[in-house]
Amino acid sequence: MRTYRDAKAMAKAMREALAQKNLELSHSEALEIVARQFGVETWNILSSKLEKAEEPTAGAVSFTQPVPIFRIFDEDKARGFYEGFLDCTIDWEHRFHPGAPLYCQVSRGGLKLHLSEHSGDASPGATAVCYIKGVEVFQKGLIAKNYKYNRPGLERQDWGLECQVIDPFGNRIRFMESQD
């Protein structure tokens, strides 16, 4: 489930996207829209539900999903692949100063990836396994985009169905649906 922090990032991303089209939306209006996207009536209701879902049990260790870091070398190519081809949203971006390398988070559903132009953050050619429900529908949607650099297939493995994509920097994402 997305967290309270993700919901705020969604609202921020919506405001920024609308601002690029000269449509202004207040922060509170954006939060109310995000709440309705989560299927609840108001932001206050969503906020309380998400905070309760995040409360850890006293003394317990709790892991959340790992977030792979992929090395990128060209911001425009990365945006074309992650936003255009995979339909990810850029949740946030960071640069130490204008002209500095980009570090950002992209997401789609429960998938989160960090992309970095910083030389020490990751090695190009990494691989991440991302479990998914509906991998066949996902793969057909990718094929329908006619993205000229990637036409992922669907393979039946011993562990389930797999659809692999390779970004412009040699990083691989294996979208797997287990056969459980």
> Pairing between strand 69-71 and 89-94?
unpaired
Mean pLDDT of the chain: 87
34 and 73 inside one domain: no
pLDDT digits (tens, 9 = 90+) for 31-86: 888 878 877 887 777 777 776 655 556 778 888 888 999 999 999 999 999 999 99
150 and 85 inside one domain: yes
Distance CA 178, CA 164 (A): 14
Give the domain range for residue 31.
4-54
Could you give the strand order of the β-sheet that contains 172-178, starting from the edge strand earlier in sequence?
127-131, 172-178, 160-166, 155-157
Q: What pTM does this model have? A: 0.66
Domain count within the chain = 2
